[in-house]
Structure 1
């Protein structure tokens, strides 16, 4: 498979001459073809989880909105953006539909346990049961259904970052629901999962895929026991090369950065 951003924490298209001499954990991003559809897949090993951030607003409290603006803002602070992907579904860029814990543990939106509108799977992916939460707590990442997340004991480690979306794609090694293998809704879609060893996997389709195709890709090709749909159509991935075209604003973005050499 063609390599897009191997060792994305240390080497990108911006500094392609740099060699990876560090032994720090790496994020690996690759192009993959799964069941005839093109995907880009980024894998973050457990030892590198501390490099992952979920960012929603700048120092003035304004939503970042775009990868381009996030990139410029971080650069001004002496950081280079290595990876970015939109995180979860929202009504407005300043209002996530469900739980959003970002910017170092700040809760912007609480857990949404509403059943949503009638026939939610036809009208609102977020409410299509079971929906769920991707989160990091106690230095470990996980994907849980909204109901299971709500039952976390009060003594559980504090949530460091979280995004709620729906539907779950894979749950406990099986498709989370009876997705239609003959579905006709094809669009760019993205999702996130956590493997049994704690590796976090982000994936986005470059081709239009159905929810069934995305779910089976996470379950079978990406070996994920639990996976969460993030969004569709507007989704975008950045791996350190050209900034992707972005037609809509985002409420929050996953990001991985590194310090710019010589900057403080």
Structure 2
């Protein structure tokens, strides 16, 4: 009988574990891409123009995605993506910290209270003058003059790659929800559910997408403007909005 000249392949447990971990990660990311419960937009903050909006140059509240679009067009720009960007007061003022063009327009809210905003840990999403993005727990946020935009919201959905432990997988607290997360390559991913979901489901989607940090932005009022995916919502009654623009020329 001829003996095989191919040596028996032995895989050390450590490398097998790494392979299975990588395979599992790739499967989760593919599953997230095919999840039609969510509308998503991925953006490179170093190459694309991301801004936060609240009022126009005349100090008038923008409030809706339609008025934001009109404001952008007035400046000879094209809005390619927009989403409400955090909770707000009855007068449409941002709830908690809001920085626009390096100016602190609302201070950080570290009080205790009721509602989603005060679920812990609370967080801050920010963009720097060097087009770097960050999401950090509010208690760990440190202001510096390089921060161009920032919005505070809560709760954190993902921290250090882990789903917020206060969320219950089978919770019946369902709503349309949206949030923002950061991928390992530094890209941002904005997500809004098309249908009502609980916090855990939204957080799980961010985790499966590869986010190490993700922040909840708001609930049933959430809207998204994304023409490239034929998802155009122009209404709303918001405080802060987040938009991605390009030149209209």
TM superposition score normalised by structure 2: 0.81
Aligned partner of 1:230 among 189, 192, 217: 217
Aligned partner of 1:202 among 190, 210, 217: 190
Q: Secondary structure at the match of 2:58?
A: coil
- Residue of structure 2 in register with 1:44 after alignment: 43
Q: Secondary structure at the match of 1:214?
A: helix
Conserved? CA contact 2:126–2:147, under 8 Å? yes
Q: Secondary structure at the match of 2:96?
A: coil
Unaligned runs of 5+ in 1: 1-30
State the distance in 1 between where 2:205 and 2:145 align: 31
- Residue of structure 1 in register with 2:122 after alignment: 131
Matching of residues 184-195 of structure 1 within 5 Å: 184-195=172-183
- Residue of structure 1 in register with 2:112 after alignment: 115
Aligned partner of 1:176 among 164, 170, 187: 164
Conserved? CA contact 2:136–2:213, under 8 Å? yes
Shift of 1:157: 5.2
The higher radius of gyration belongs to 2
Conserved? CA contact 1:170–1:228, under 8 Å? yes
TM superposition score normalised by structure 1: 0.76
Shift of 1:76: 2.1
Alignment coverage as a number of residue pairs:
215
Unaligned runs of 5+ in 2: 1-31
Shift of 1:33: 4.3
- Residue of structure 2 in register with 1:17 after alignment: none
Shift of 1:242: 6.4
Conserved? CA contact 1:85–1:237, under 8 Å? yes
Does 1:105 find its partner at 2:96? no
Question: What are the superposed Cα offsets for residues 81-103 of structure 1, whole Å, 9 maximum, x if unpaired?
Answer: 1111000001135411111112x
Conserved? CA contact 2:66–2:234, under 8 Å? no
Shift of 1:47: 2.8
Shift of 1:132: 0.3
Conserved? CA contact 1:92–1:251, under 8 Å? no
Tell me how large the CA RMSD over aligned residues is.
Answer: 1.8
Shift of 1:159: 1.2
State the distance in 2 between where 1:58 and 1:148 align: 31
